[in-house]
Amino acid sequence: ETGVTQTPRHLVMGMTNKKSLKCEQHLGHNAMYWYKQSAKKPLELMFVYNFKEQTENNSVPSRFSPECPNSSHLFLHLHTLQPEDSALYLCASSQDTGLNQRKLFFGSGTQLSVL
Amino acid sequence: GQQLNQSPQSMFIQEGEDVSMNCTSSSIFNTWLWYKQDPGEGPVLLIALYKAGELTSNGRLTAQFGITRKDSFLNISASIPSDVGIYFCAGPNSGGSNYKLTFGKGTLLTVNP
């Protein structure tokens, strides 16, 4: 496999459920990101990890909890979500968070629906 | 924060036509990026621009870094059905050594065969 792989591709969950999104990159990159994509809105940066350390939390509600066990894997743990959290969640990676962040490689995303 | 304004929001064209779209900002950018998102996929980087006035091509795509450094343009020549998708412009905000990308809302392109 190459590139950035996200699972699952689709997820439907109730507001009381707990679920996790998974992202894996096979590019040897050191930085990984979670973005939220809602209809008719710009991509919203949620979290940034560089060398497994969280360097950015863009005022994301605590019902979203990221985890980065190593530079190749990134998780987004979800609990007690709201219907307005329904969106496409994109994982991305780059060589690092400096100027190389200009070249992001995205996964295909997880389309999340919260009922 | 910085905002990028893309226009048009959407375009419906016939196969074979040329397409132009642009992206403007109220602040100066030192880099302009153009991404394309196919339906059901994540965005993919098409073209990166690093100098004011720079004109760069990638196949039928040509992008320009505006002289004022506050705008960029993307042109697609002789469109084909697989050009369908959302085209995003993006640029980095700089805060010390940590860069964040700001994205526009995108231009949705539909190509009628």
Average pLDDT over residues B66-83: 96
Show the CA angle centred on residue A46, arms to residues B48 and A41, nearest 5°: 70
pLDDT at B96 over 60: no
Residue with tokens 């979203």: A64
Identify whether the C-beta of residue A56 lies closer than 8 Å to the C-beta of residue A47: yes
* Pairwise CB contact (< 8 Å): B98 & A55: yes
When CB atoms are compared, the residue of B41, B48, B104 closest to A103 is B48
Ranking A49-58, B18-27, B41-50 by mean pLDDT, the lowest is A49-58
Output the pLDDT for position B95. Answer: 53
Pairing state of beta strands A110-114 and A10-13? parallel
- Tokens linked to B43: 């965005």
Confidence (pLDDT) at A103: 84
Closest partner CB to A107 (pick from B42, B88, B99): B42
pLDDT at B30: 87
Chain A residues touching residue B101 (CB < 8 angstroms): 43, 45, 101-102, 104
Distance from CA of B92 to the nearest CA of A (A): 7
Tell me if B90 sits within 8 A of B102, measured CB to CB. yes
Q: Is the pLDDT of residue B100 over 90?
A: no
DSSP structure class, residue A100 = G
State which residues of chain A have pLDDT below 70: 1-2, 99-102
> Is B92–A103 a contact, with Cβ atoms under 8 angstroms apart?
no
- Say yes or no to pLDDT of B50 above 80: yes
